[in-house]
A and B are shown apart, each in its own frame.
Chain A
Amino acid sequence: MKLELRGITKRFGSFTANDSIDLVVEPGEIHALLGENGAGKSTLMNTLYGLYAPEEGEILIDDRPVAFSGPGDAVSAGIGMVHQHFMLVPVFTVAESVALGYEPTKSGALLDLGEARRKVTEISARFGFHIDPDAVIEDLPVGAQQRVEIIKALSRDAKILILDEPTAVLTPQETDELIEIMRQLKAGGTSIVFITHKLREVRAIADGITVIRRGKVVGEASPESSESELAGLMVGRDVHLTTDKTDADPGEATFSVRGLTVVDKSESVVVSDVSLDVRRGEILAIAGVDGNGQSELAEAIVGLVEPRSGTISLDGDDLAGLSVKERLRKGIGFVPEDRSTDGVIASFTISENMILDLYDQPPYAKGLSLQPAVVRSEAEEKVSEFDIRLTSIDDPISTLSGGNQQKVVLSRELGRPLRLLVASQPTRGLDVGSIEFVHKRIIAERDSGTPCVIVSTELDEVFNIADRIAVMYRGRIVGVVPADTPRDVLGLMMAGVPEDEALARVEDGSAATEISAAEEDPA
């Protein structure tokens, strides 16, 4: 089945998310839709899937124009979609999930789950998915949930499968498995639209590539294009993310973690026996694929989660049992991973957000009384120091751009003497200019002698600011390596391969994962 989009335009109010986009997917092709976060990829696919109605443009299937008023129309036209955030009801079984919306029935209105089970078993067997139709979704690992989504689409005879950022939540192995699945699907005649911002995956699997930036198609590319060519198209200028910094001049180790184990609500171990030392005046980056325990490690350091065992000490003091507030008072600065959820309060004013964790400290408070005048004047100062672009400090912070919001968070966390900085994904979702600013401020904090722990899933960021790199995989520290460790060694370590073995494998060129194999192609 051939799919063609012509001149698709989708606006949200005054914001144009998709601007006259053209896209052609040939039958049996794996077509990558490449673009940065916020470039409009997901909007385009939601339009294609009938979730949004486009303002202009048309969709053609096998050269015939179609109109979708809802996902149901798209599905009956043979389009299946695997959303980035899975559309699965956590308490349903696999069979129920597959049945939902297209329920097989027997004797009138009663559900025929046996039929759904048969379908799951059949498709699962055809592609070797190993999915039990009676398993409950929330008990399945992420990779298996994704396969349930694929089964859902295939059970409705999808000829075109849209995969929206499918690898964002996967480990390297799971990614390899997915790539294998995509190849099988392609062999079976299914066309695939593969949405991603990860260059290596694109080059490993795609037959054709369309790059979009700020809602517009900026170019077509072949999988043979080099990474920097693709990146250039995607970002719009040469990406040389390097912030000037001098070598670290580390002092003694003032922050240390010993044998830290964290258990989540479902009693599975998310941080496993982690030990780390961070010295004054150095940045330790914690690298790893999302969901390997980095976030929980950071949260445990700040006291947001209580570890099951192990110790955390700062300047010789044990932090065990201290509340978040007490830890912040001890001089820990914390930049949370999810800015809009944890970092700021959207409806609070900018000046209120600047004192979110300092509101009960002098000079902002006298006893129980807030000092609004002081809050305002301090806020004005920080606005100029951190170059925050705003209309008034009395506006809700939700009126600011992501980059400026993050500057507010930084101005709050770096605006006081620190003995430790913990930042999780400090530049996620920011534009290049803001990224540079954030990196500079973090390096400046390091230079003033603060030990810094930066969690990042972006290798570019890790290489840009780290003095040492700790790689986490499945809750464990795979190894702590110097900042000049080769990229593919880090890649292997992120897949759980120990440092020595990774080094050895890279040296004799037998790197195991496809991702790193693709990377070794001379570009």
Chain B
Amino acid sequence: MQFLKKRFPVLLAFVLGMVMFIRAFVPAKIAQRLYEGFVNWDLVILGFSAIFAILSLLHYHINKVRRKVPGYGYSVLTLVAFTQMLVLGVFMGTKLGTPAGWEYQWLFVPMQATMFATLAFFIASAAFRAFRARTWEALALLIAGLIVMIGRVPIGEWISPKLGLLSEWIMQNPNMAATRGVLLGVALAQIAISVRIIFGIERTYMGGGD
């Protein structure tokens, strides 16, 4: 049991990780077929992982309702919404024109759009209250932010065409340099974590407990 729980996943990660790594450098047909096979397997596994995600969601909310945790009414709502959408979707389809499609078009779309639209109000209020130049670095950020914000909408270019050009320069130079640094950092971290997983140093993906 201990082997299946602790050693087998590490062994599996090592073998599959090394095979896929070496495969990338082998131009033979067998390597391509192996790759295609793994990709197909992945698709099947991901289908099952979606089922697990749904079960996990249901388990979480059913437990909240059972224990009457404060705010459990929202969990009841989630479960009702989930169940009715599942029933409607499975038996009548999810395309536009079906009941589930109607719910999507006239409930889900407006609700998500509303959530997103409220951001404009919060941003305006927060910008007025919190975006202060308390240090020189904050002042630089503030000036750059203001130029990009006004330079990327028609009113900025209407005020002065140079604002548009300046905004473009900020995006293509300082912004790009900083973003590139972040991307390189993320990529290096991904390589490091992959190596750690393949060699069994990183095992948090197996979950905790016994």
Tell whether A and B belong to one assembly.
no
Using a CB–CB distance below 8 Å, which chain B residues touch chain A? none
